Amino acid sequence: MATGDFAVLNLSGCSGCEVGLLNAEAWIDTHRLAYMPLVLSSEDLPQVRQLVVSGAVYTDEDLYRLRRAATRAEQVIAVGTCAISGGVANLGYRDEVRERFFQESDRRHLPRMLPRLLPVDAVVPVDLYLPGCPPMPWLFTAALFQPTEYQTAKTVCLDCGRVKTRQRPTRLSGFQPGDTDPQMCLINQGYLCIGSSTRGGCRAPCTRAGNPCVGCRGPSDGFIARSAEEWFEAMARVFARMTDIPGDEIDEVLRSPQLSLFVFQFADYGDRPDPVAPRDVKKVL
């Protein structure tokens, strides 16, 4: 029997998702928050209807807390890039980094790092995914309180409003924006923007301000069930169609570990030994 409406369990992450949830404050008068250590002191996590999990499973303590919490919830909602794919900490999955990390990270009486970081659904079944780094407040409202009615824009492009032109750049302008034309599509201006295959719903704050989309909302519906490879190829095709930038140049930056921190969302997490099954599109908001 649920004694609270929802609980928020924060594993290894930055608390940005929780901070975002605080801005979806309409729930204050309508829903009872039963557990959220960031803003609420409570002894333990009670039985709840919804368990919101943010952050990745990085330590033995994360693993224990997640397993334990999941038994007390009717529904598990994974929010944010870390919970869904490991997020920024996935940049650490290069051997030389991992080795040094473990040397430095073993300290007395403290939770120990797992041999590798896990997304939430590698540990417990997830009923709803809310990707984003972090998800926007209105997406929290939709995920927690009205999931079936809510439709997001299919891609960031549809949220963005910049206009595609016939201008074909011949070289990549990099990640960081220069003096961008405020109306024109960033790809036409040579920026590595992957909004065309990234899930919408964010209302495109980055691209509207002149910053290329880095894909924090993960793949759009059509790519969720496909491999990372297919997603990369699709992005490369967009650049081939709209620009004269050499394909190998695009390929190299698309696959750099720093960009992959986002584009690996929902894919097979690089070299994970036990790739999780593709998520059900209907479970992703």
| Binding residues vs other proteins (CB under 8 A) | 10, 12-20, 22-23, 25, 28-29, 33, 37-42, 58-59, 61, 87-89, 91-92, 94, 97, 100-101, 105, 107-111, 113, 133-134, 136, 174-180, 182, 205-206, 208-211, 214, 256-259, 261
Cα 63 from Cα 57, distance rounded (Å):
6
Structure tokens at 52: 């919101």
Would you say 227 or 258 has its CB closer to other proteins?
258
Would you say 77 or 214 has its CB closer to other proteins?
214
Q: Write down the least CB distance from residue 160 to other proteins, Å.
A: 13
Q: Residue 118 in contact with residue 83, Cβ under 8 Å?
A: no
Look-up: residue for tokens 């926007």?
136
Q: Could you tell me the sign of the dihedral formed by the alpha carbons of 201, 202, 207, 212, in that order?
A: negative
Would you say 96 or 149 has its CB closer to other proteins?
96
Would you say 25 or 280 has its CB closer to other proteins?
25
Q: Write down the least CB distance from residue 239 to other proteins, Å.
A: 18
CA distance readout (Å), 106 to 89, 110, 111, 115, 197: 17, 8, 9, 12, 40
Q: Write down the least CB distance from residue 67 to other proteins, Å.
A: 17
Q: Could you tell me the sign of the dihedral formed by the alpha carbons of 104, 107, 111, 114, in that order?
A: positive
Q: Write down the least CB distance from residue 36 to other proteins, Å.
A: 8
Q: Write down the least CB distance from residue 20 to other proteins, Å.
A: 6
Q: Write down the least CB distance from residue 78 to other proteins, Å.
A: 16
Cα 271 from Cα 5, distance rounded (Å):
38
Would you say 13 or 200 has its CB closer to other proteins?
13
Would you say 43 or 149 has its CB closer to other proteins?
43
Q: Could you tell me the sign of the dihedral formed by the alpha carbons of 122, 123, 129, 132, in that order?
A: negative
Q: Residue 128 in contact with residue 75, Cβ under 8 Å?
A: yes
**What one-letter code names the amino acid at 74?**
E
